[in-house]
Amino acid sequence: MYNGKIIFSQLISYLPKYEFNKCVMRYRGNHKIKSFSCWDQFLCIAFAQITYRESLREIVTCLRAFENKLYHMGFRSRISRSTLADANENRDWRIYADFAQVLIDQARKLYHNEDLGYELNNTVYALDSTTIDLCLSLFPWAKFRKRKGAIKLHTLMDLRGYIPSFIRITDGRVHDVNILDDLIPESGSFYILDRGYTDFSRLYVLDQCSSFFVIRAKSNLDFKRLYSHPVDRTTGIICDQTILLSGMNSSNDYPDKLRRIRYYDKEQNKRLTFLTNNFILPAMIIAQIYKSRWQIELFFKWIKQHLRIKSFFGTSENAVKTQIWIAISIYVLMAIVKKQLKINLSLYTFLQIMSISVFEKVHILQLVTENLYKNFNHDSYNQLELFDL
């Protein structure tokens, strides 16, 4: 008979408490706090994320129902709705942002050898954003449109393991392309971008930093063809060209040569045009690199469906950012536990099992390797299977 920790405590044991305390001290999160520390607050929101709680009242009610187990779950203070609400409003969200980054660094080390699906040793990033709609009357700080509020979650994802390596939360008015100014380009890495990031002066900065980019070209691109390289049209590659931009502004913003590749996607019956500053890789690999950008779209769909980032426990900017960063921390924590325990389940299935088992006193491995879960198949083909790592 297993006499160890309950499931929730086992999951939390994978969190580096020492690093969390460093983040708290950095922003004096527990200054003049006699009870309900930042760690207690983190555990409350983490519990809500794992078990799909929708409100502060639900969180407190569920935790108080198992009050005899709270100490073993890591809680050291009595939990109340008003105390949790005050903590969300007043504790600096940067504590949880910094801690999420600690977990991200840990996860990326675990997944750095993951297969991309094509032969490439470089790091490959996908950059995109998703909009989370908010009620402007409740969230007046989240400016978007005249009668609508929203925030944007700008994410740079490492496609080896689908781990978000960079996240920026802004109001809905911030254009996607501005986030390129916040990136620190890594030499030799690939950055996959959609057409919304077309800004040749910023792309030239990536080129000057010895980084590579692959971006969809706009239909009205002005360019001059210098060379046409031979291609195998049976692979879907229509043309592979070396070009110079000829637009008045674009030619000044990006004075060097570019590579233009046209590709026919049979699955979607679409012709796609890519621009890249990499002249070495085969054209088909460039097309495959861009195709893998779709993983970040699935990541956004996944976190919106399975984490609590669409209904918030507070209306202030601090409360919203705190909840989002803790949600990201739980996502990365699940990826870490899954990798370290070598669990052969999709992250979706793993999270579903954990959500109904947090108070069970059984080892995680024993729980997930039962035949019922081992042979589990989704009946609905609309469910996302992206994170089958």
For 365-387, the pLDDT digits (tens) are 888 876 444 454 444 445 445 54
The answer to whether 279 and 259 have CB atoms below 8 angstroms apart is yes
For 160-219, the pLDDT digits (tens) are 888 888 999 998 889 999 999 999 999 999 999 999 899 999 999 999 999 999 999 988
Q: How far apart are CA 358 and CA 269, in angstroms?
A: 45
Q: What is the 3-state secondary structure (H, E, C) of 200-254?
A: HHHHHHHHHCCCEEEEECCCCCCEEEEEEECCCHHHCEEEEEEEEECCCCHHHHC
- Residue ranges of the domains in the chain? 7-96+314-374, 195-283
The answer to whether 110 and 336 have CB atoms below 8 angstroms apart is yes
For 315-371, the pLDDT digits (tens) are 899 999 999 999 999 989 999 999 999 888 877 788 888 888 888 888 888 888 764
CATH placement of domain 195-283: 3.30.1370
Check pLDDT > 50 for residue 78.
yes
- Rounded to 10°, the helix 38-51/317-340 angle is 70
Q: 189: which DSSP letter? A: -
Q: Which tokens in the block code for residue 363?
A: 């080892």
Check pLDDT > 70 for residue 388.
no
Q: Which tokens in the block code for residue 272?
A: 């796609």
> Residues of the chain with pLDDT > 90: what percent?
47
Using alpha carbons only, give the angle 285, 287, 290 rounded to the nearest 5 degrees. Answer: 110
The answer to whether 308 and 52 have CB atoms below 8 angstroms apart is yes
Check pLDDT > 70 for residue 129.
yes
